[in-house]
Every structure is written in structure tokens, then in C-alpha cells.
Structure 1
Amino acid sequence: MKTTESKKTRNTKHQKAVLDLLKNAEKALTADEIREQLEDHINKTTVYRMLDRFVEAGKIHFVTGQNGKSFYALCKTCNEEPPQHIHNHLHFQCEVCGNVECLPNTVKVPQLPGYNIRETQLLIIGTCKRCISSTN
């Protein structure tokens, strides 16, 4: 039987691996893509739990793509802790290759009297630069 200490160490190792993967990713990744790229194969439920904890902690954010899947990316310029941790930058999903990427452009999120904004989902759908240039 494994001790609590070994379980804690293993989880920390996996958490670090997921964060490192997102840190080095050139695009936002789905939970399936994250799981496939990890050396140690972690079950899908564990990956989703880790991602949920990272989102709650403000370490990563996600956007729901055109297909209903969540795409996760590391928070690179975020300073605020939740619950004021609102992402107001744009995301772009390519209809050709399916990649989702964070764009540097930001949108001013309005203050709505009587509403508490917890999250924004800003997704633009079209054709990315790589796919446009490969068809020309």
C-alpha cells in the first residue's frame, strides 16, 4: 500500500509536468492533448481534476471551443487571484487546423450593475495565419 507521502509526491510531479507542458505550448491544449503528451500516462479524471484546481488557483485559464471542448492555457500576464481573475483577452480558433491560441488583444469587460462577472469567454473563429499561407 502506498503512503500518503508517495501519493503527494506523485501528484506534485504530475502537476509540475502539466504546468511545464502548458508553459511550453504554442497553443491552448485540450485535456486529451495534455494527457497524450505526458510521459506518465495519467487517467483522464486526474487530468481534469488537476486542470480544475489550476483554474481555481488562477494558474491557467480555459476557453470553450467551437466543438464544445475546453482548451487550456497558462496564465502568463495575470497578477490577480480569484475571484477577480477575469481573462479579457481574445482567443482564436482556426476552422482549418482547429488550433486555439491566446491573442494579445484585450476587450474591456463592462461593469454590469447587479451582476457579478466570474468569467469571460472571448472566442473568434476563422482561419489562422499558418493555414492561410499554406493555401496560397
Structure 2
Amino acid sequence: MEIKKTRNTEKQNLVKEILSKSEHTLSADDIMLAMPIKVNKTTIYRILDRFTEKGEVHFVTGKNGKAYYALCGNSCGTSHKIHNHIHFECQICNEVTCQPNTLHIPNLEGFTIQETQFLVIGICNKCKK
């Protein structure tokens, strides 16, 4: 089995920078629009997939079926496969945010859990005002 060597490219650095500056999760479309250089969506998805495999980024699927990405950090730890925190999607502004609430993931006898997604939908504090 050949180990694929990846290098740190300008585009990867830009994606990380965009995610690190955001207070909420971002879709691939959001990231593409924020890029200061021209990058196609396929490249954005490849970068996000690579970061997800390495445990540097996680995603949650929103109510609309889109994937929303966030850098792994204080709210979920690093180098992990299971993301056991809640994501909140606001029905008014459509922002999806990581919440600090940790959930206990049960062992399911006879099953191997490879991924978890927890999405709570409602109205955020900004939109309530």
C-alpha cells in the first residue's frame, strides 16, 4: 500500500484561515466566496475531505442537506473521528454553530460507529432580539 504524501498548499492554508476566522460553520460555497484567489468547488471539497480525514475539520449536515464545516478545536478536541457535540442551526439567519455541550455516545453492541452528527434547529440569540 502506497502512502500518499500531501503538501501544504496555498489553497489549503487559505481554507484553514477562512475557517479559523469564522464564528460559525461554513459551507463549501461560503468558503469559495471568501477565497481571495480563484478556486473551483471541487478543489474546496477535496481540501475539506483531506482535513476531515486528518481530524482537523468536522462537518454537520444542515436541514437543507448541505455540509457545514468547522475547524476542530476547543469545542471538540483534535485528532478524532467522532464529534460528540451539538450543532445549532438558526431558522432565521441559517447559521450553523458548534455548541460546547458534549453528548455521551453509547456503545452499540454489534455496530461500529464511524461518524455522529447532532443538529438542533431553532432560533439563535442574535435573531431573537
Q: 2:12 aligns with which of 8, 12, 15?
A: 15
TM-score for the superposition, normalised by structure 1: 0.86
Identity %: 48
Match of 1:113 in 2: 109
Write out per-residue CA displacement over residues 2-52 of structure 1, whole angstroms, 9 at most, x where no aligned residue: xxxxxx87x611101101111111100000000000100200110011101
Match of 1:74 in 2: 71
Say which SS state the counterpart of residue 61 (structure 1) adopts.
strand
CA distance in 1, matches of 2:121, 2:9: 36
Residues 40-79 of structure 1 mapped to structure 2, 5 A cutoff: 40-77=37-74, 78-79=77-78
Q: 2:99 aligns with which of 90, 97, 103?
A: 103
CA distance in 2, matches of 1:22, 1:80: 17
CA distance in 2, matches of 1:110, 1:25: 31
Counting matched residue pairs gives: 122
Q: Report the AA paired with residue 76 of structure 1.
A: G
Stretches (4+) displaced over 4 A: none
TM-score for the superposition, normalised by structure 2: 0.90
Structure with a larger share of its residues in helix: 1
Structure 1: segments with no counterpart, 5+ residues:
1-7
Say which SS state the counterpart of residue 34 (structure 1) adopts.
helix
Say which SS state the counterpart of residue 104 (structure 1) adopts.
strand
Structure 2: segments with no counterpart, 5+ residues:
1-5
Q: 1:88 aligns with which of 84, 90, 112?
A: 84
- Please tell me the root mean square deviation across aligned C-alpha atoms, in Å: 1.4
Q: Which structure would you say has the larger Rg?
A: 1
Write out per-residue CA displacement over residues 72-126 of structure 1, whole angstroms, 9 at most, x where no aligned residue: 0000032334xxx210000000000100000000110001111110110100000
